[in-house]
Structure 1
Amino acid sequence: MSTVRIRPARPESPADAAALAAAVSRNRAYMRPWEPYRPETYYTPEGQAERLGDGARRWFAVDELPEGERVAGVAILSGIALGPFRSASLGYWVDPEYGGRGLATALTEEVCRAAREELGLHRIEASTLLDNHASQRVLAKCGFERIGTAPRYLHIDGAWRDHHLFQRILHDDPPPRA
């Protein structure tokens, strides 16, 4: 059995962009019900290189295979706001081939650790489609609480879809003074 580990994505790495392009291409049909529309360039190494440089922070669950690393899952921390808000939005997905191994939970926990310890964030928010019970279980295991429901929140799979909203408070320390 191969070893899966979690590591930060390297925005400057062509190998990371290629591995991520392979992963999103491999999971394109699986992700369709959960993701917004993506242009064809999204599924290319160039498209993923652009995404890796967009300012969001990403972590990969990588399977260490004899031929190299294979991305088994991704967690993304985007919309990072500092100042008095100190918050960000979390997104994640795991290749269904790697499901049931706790990777989504491990990715989420690593993002929460890094958000607190490395970025000094106060909270992280996440949203799920109403029927995405697997993601809701991951968030609950990781200490997120449901804070509401947003009607027609995101355009997913061709329609505006309602989402449950969640947050996890990481700490109650005051923001650092500039």
Structure 2
Amino acid sequence: MAPHSSIRLRPSGPDDAGPVAEALARNRAHLRPWDPHRPPDYFTARFQAERLADPSARRWLLADGTRVVGEATLSSIALGAFRNAILGYWIDAAYLNRGLATRAVEEVCRAARDELGLHRVEASTLLANAASQRVLRKCGFELFGTAPLYLHIDGEWRDHHLFQRILHNGPPNQAS
């Protein structure tokens, strides 16, 4: 993250469950149009502790001091010949239009390449999510298709644009 900003991107840890639950509860209405249906317990520290401990994903938090103001996640991480992950992210409604999503996506892609040895990162957006599409394009993602009825978001199956970023063209790590 930029040195002049008080907001830092850092890996999530077990002690983050409470602040993440608070951030998600605070942003429930803001995120509803972009998210699947969330049961009430999703917004609890207990649920978030389980989610943050899931070894199948890597999560980074945007934090303004102790206040969580966003998250970026790599999930469905595949190694071997594919070396791919799916990127998701969100930003607190009070922190929009500060370049935080762009900075987080860039840093997570760097970690995907340099720390995980991934070749490709994929992301999807609802067709109407122009802001997220701008972030992805700024970060070097290319639109490669549109998937009809791709995800169940805000109560309906919805079409999504599919984006990808090729991180490098070198051979996969032979140890994985």
Range class of TM-score, shorter chain: over 0.9
Cα distance change on mapping 1:2 and 1:176 into 2, 3 Å? closer
TM-superposed CA distance for 1:163, in Å, is: 0.1
Cα distance change on mapping 1:142 and 1:88 into 2, 3 Å? same
For residue 152 of structure 1, what is the aligned residue in structure 2? 149
For residue 120 of structure 1, what is the aligned residue in structure 2? 117
Paired amino acid for 2:127: L
For residue 21 of structure 2, what is the aligned residue in structure 1? 21
Q: Percent identity between the aligned chains?
A: 65
In the alignment, structure 1 residue 161 sits paired with structure 2 residue 164: no
Paired amino acid for 1:59: W
Q: TM-score, normalised by structure 1?
A: 0.94
For residue 103 of structure 1, what is the aligned residue in structure 2? 100
Distance (whole Å) between structure 1 residues aligned to residue 9 and residue 42 of structure 2: 23
Distance (whole Å) between structure 1 residues aligned to residue 48 and residue 25 of structure 2: 11
Q: TM-score, normalised by structure 2?
A: 0.95
In the alignment, structure 1 residue 38 sits paired with structure 2 residue 38: yes
For residue 58 of structure 1, what is the aligned residue in structure 2? 59
Q: Name the count of aligned residue pairs.
A: 171
In the alignment, structure 1 residue 49 sits paired with structure 2 residue 52: no
Distance (whole Å) between structure 2 residues aligned to residue 149 and residue 41 of structure 1: 32
For residue 90 of structure 1, what is the aligned residue in structure 2? 87
Instruction: Give the superposed CA RMSD.
Output: 1.2
TM-superposed CA distance for 1:40, in Å, is: 1.4
Structure 2 unmatched ranges of 5 or more: none
TM-superposed CA distance for 1:36, in Å, is: 0.3
Cα distance change on mapping 1:2 and 1:80 into 2, 3 Å? closer
Aligned partner of residue 60 in structure 1, secondary structure = strand
- Report runs of 4+ in structure 1 exceeding 6 Å deviation: none
